[in-house]
Amino acid sequence: MAGFIEEFKKFALRGNVMDLAVGVVIGGAFGKIVNGLVSNIISPIMGCLTGGSKFSNLFISLGSKPVETLAEAQAENVPVIAYGALIDAVIEFLIIAFSLFVVVKQINRLMPAPPPAEPRRCPYCREVIAADATRCPHCTAELEMKEKE
């Protein structure tokens, strides 16, 4: 049992797992911010442009009883297709995707570029040769193919 606990501790404290945990927590908080942005700012603005209602209130009634609002339909258990909620979710997704794109792009810009790979050299004449060369073009020595890592 002690070996299992030690193995779990080693797994849980690896850098990748901790980074993932931090990412999930920050992602959840970021999702709430975007949800608030879409629900409270973007949807009402779009609603004004499309006739005065929020997207989340758009629905198609599938029942025979006439209802005016989504809240009324839900209160009376009338089946509906709430396509406005889907529109809100798509807008949220696009905002999150765009925001993450911008953040990752900026982080990548700040990260130093990896050093260039060391060129392959002929073991006999030390001249630079192609990575897949089987014979040196300078001294014509036969070369061993390097195993891919």
Question: Which pLDDT belongs to residue 125?
Answer: 93
pLDDT in tens, 62-100: 888 888 888 888 888 889 988 888 888 888 788 878 877
pLDDT in tens, 18-67: 778 888 888 888 888 887 887 788 777 877 876 766 677 788 888 888 88
Burial degree of 87 (CB within 10 A; 0-12, 13-18, 19+): middle
Banded pLDDT at 127 (limits 50, 70, 90):
very high
30 in Cβ contact with 99 (< 8 Å):
yes
In Å, what is the CA distance from 50 to each residue of 55, 64, 82, 107, 121? 9, 27, 17, 38, 67
Banded pLDDT at 128 (limits 50, 70, 90):
very high
Question: Which pLDDT belongs to residue 19?
Answer: 79
Give the count of beta carbons closer than 10 Å to the beta carbon of residue 84.
Answer: 19
Question: Which pLDDT belongs to residue 149?
Answer: 46
Bridge partners, residue 88, by sequence: none
Burial degree of 70 (CB within 10 A; 0-12, 13-18, 19+): buried
pLDDT in tens, 1-16: 788 888 887 777 776 7
Which residue bears the tokens 């945990």?
21
Q: Which residues, 6 or more positions from 123, have their beta carbon under 8 angstroms from its beta carbon?
A: 141, 143
Question: Which pLDDT belongs to residue 148?
Answer: 53
Reported in sequence order, the residue ranges of 7-81 that DSSP labels E, i.e. its strands, are 60-61, 80-81
Question: Which pLDDT belongs to residue 21?
Answer: 81
